[in-house]
Amino acid sequence: MSTLAIAQTQIKQMLSMQDAMNSRVSDAWRDNGYEWYRAIWAECAEMLDHHGWKWWKHQEIDVPQVQLELVDIFHFGLSLRLMTGASVDNIAQTLAAELAENSSESDFKIALESLASAAVTNKAFDATAFTDCMRLMNMDLDELFRQYVGKNTLNFFRQDHGYKEGTYIKVWNGKEDNEVLADAVSTLDSSAEDFQQQVYQALKAGYPG
């Protein structure tokens, strides 16, 4: 299978998972007018703080946290693309091509501002700017896929265990669930057909509730 075909397969799976997660929140999510673009630029601001931008003080880049914010933004980007009404196949084909490209931008902050600008100005998800941000944080599509499936599965797990009702336990034996997730995902094969199910079962095995 070619690199492009693998990318399309991964993106189609993520689109399907995003639709399922959005539908879990609301069956009519496509008709509710959620401002996904606003969620993108708000996350961009949070990400900039994790990256660092203040010239008057020493700051170190928190790469894992920046990557996690990129994964969150991809959730919103997928939702925006699904909102267009295009087929999953067409969206996957377009996104795979866009994620295979990048500009020559070498400054993460500028790439991030391009991503935020498209969200604010055009209410759109700029996949090329997103790819620049990934590249500058040493993140490829495989890593995005691995982290996306993990976070999406955790979101489902939270919903299944009382997140909406306020009974969910977020700290598991001294670790936040995101940390438990990262540990679990790092030991699993993201190319396995049942990768998502394996992640869920690993979370279920470690949940203290």
Q: Mind listing the pLDDT tens digit for each residue in 52-97?
A: 999 898 889 988 889 989 999 999 999 999 999 999 999 999 999 9
pLDDT of 24 reads 85
pLDDT of 5 reads 86
| Alpha carbon distance, N-terminus to C-terminus of the chain | 42
Cα dihedral 34, 153, 125, 48 sign: positive
What is the domain partition of the chain in residue ranges?
3-139, 148-209
Distance CA 30, CA 167 (A): 28
Distance CA 30, CA 22 (A): 9
Are the C-beta atoms of 67 and 143 separated by less than 8 Å? yes
Task: Return the SS3 of 28.
Answer: coil
pTM of the full structure: 0.87
**What percent of the chain has pLDDT above 70?**
100
Rounded to an integer, the average pLDDT of 192-208 is 91
Q: What is the CATH number of domain 3-139?
A: 1.10.4010.10
